[in-house]
Structure 1
């Protein structure tokens, strides 16, 4: 009887230990996730924490990313239009497009260099600067830039543009170059293939 009771106690203690370790691991995992989320929110807050307003020569501002899409976000005031089309409209006298680009235009100062957070806006500014229409821009200096956004490999002197630039007046220049399909990572094509399969499945399912 004593031996059986001892066995039950040992099994109960070991079970409680395993449960407590599982609870500890799950709480630790939760804490790790919340910690990484806090870091992400902190980095995003740094991009919106305005230190002061500055006026900078366009030639001194550099790109923060190695590449960019030629189209603005659908959620932006430009509703997915290409940088070339926005440039055309500004050159055709539609000044409110320039004002939209300047609105909340942000830069940060790193190691003595000014980097932009709005890379497409800077592309348009540099196109205007090469024609002599624009030399300086007002900007909001923010605390810092997100680590995953800072991807330039040439100190921000040049950016690669994916997709059609669009418009009629875009000029080639030292500050940008058209990106080739081969520059995309294989994971990008796997993701696109997966999306196409899902869309095809949904279309087939709806058709049936």
Structure 2
């Protein structure tokens, strides 16, 4: 059964993930870049599989969830397609923080990973602030 869920409503099953996908070998941050810059859409990536576990959605597709959560954090997506299944393999349940966060082993790569939606807003506001200061200086100069 196919559903649409917010990435932040899905929990990780593992405590850590590799910084790259296996096939093809691509760093997860580069995949994030491709999504942010429009070279890929969320529909170009295999849907993650989720199951209800202790009343919460959990996945074992942790690297893809990491990418989708980053997209949501950057305000680049709200919901993603997921496929519901009945269980998560027991050996995948290694999270030590109830699936809230995950450690990436190695640098994720890409440029968008280190950006935040707050940083984008801050840049815009800073630009507006500088523009306002310049406008005030011009007005003051013209009044002389």
Q: Same fold (TM over 0.5)?
A: yes
| Larger Cα-atom Rg | 1
* Contiguous gaps of at least 5 residues in structure 2: 117-144
For 1:108 and 1:121, how far apart are their aligned partners in 2?
Answer: 15
SS of residue matched to 1:95: coil
Q: Residue 99 in 1 paired to residue 48 in 2?
A: no
Shift of 1:95: 2.3
Instruction: Answer whether contact 2:74 2:115 (CA < 8 A) is retained.
Output: no
**C-alpha contact (below 8 Å) 2:13/2:93 kept by paired residues:** yes
Determine if contact 1:66/1:159 at 8 Å carries over to the other structure: yes
Q: Once superposed, which parts of structure 1, at least 4 consecutive aligned residues long, lie more than 3 Å away?
A: none
The partner residue of 2:15 within 58, 66, 79 is 66
Show the counterpart of 1:17: none
SS of alignment partner, residue 91 of structure 2: coil
2:86 to 143, 150, 153: 143
SS at match of 1:170: helix
In structure 2, relative to structure 1, the CA distance for the partners of 1:135 and 1:155 (3 Å cut) is same
Any unmatched runs of 5+ in structure 1? 1-51, 174-208
* Aligned residue pairs, count: 116
Q: How does 1:25-104 map to 2 (within 5 A)?
A: 52-73=1-22, 76=23, 79-96=24-41, 98-101=42-45, 103-104=46-47
Task: State whether structure 2 residue 80 is matched by structure 1 residue 131.
Answer: no
Distance 2:63 2:115 in 1: 15
Instruction: Name the CA shift for 1:116/1:88 in 2 (closer, same or farther; >3 Å).
Output: same
**CA 1:94/1:127 → structure 2, altered by over 3 Å: closer, same or farther?**
same
Higher percent of residues as strand: 2
Q: Which structure's residues are more often helix, by fraction? A: 1
Alignment partners' CA distance in 1, 2:91 and 2:63: 17
CA RMSD of aligned residues (A): 1.6
Task: Find the residue that maps to 1:164 and give its secondary structure.
Answer: coil
Q: Which has the higher contact order (CA 8 A, sep 6+)?
A: 2
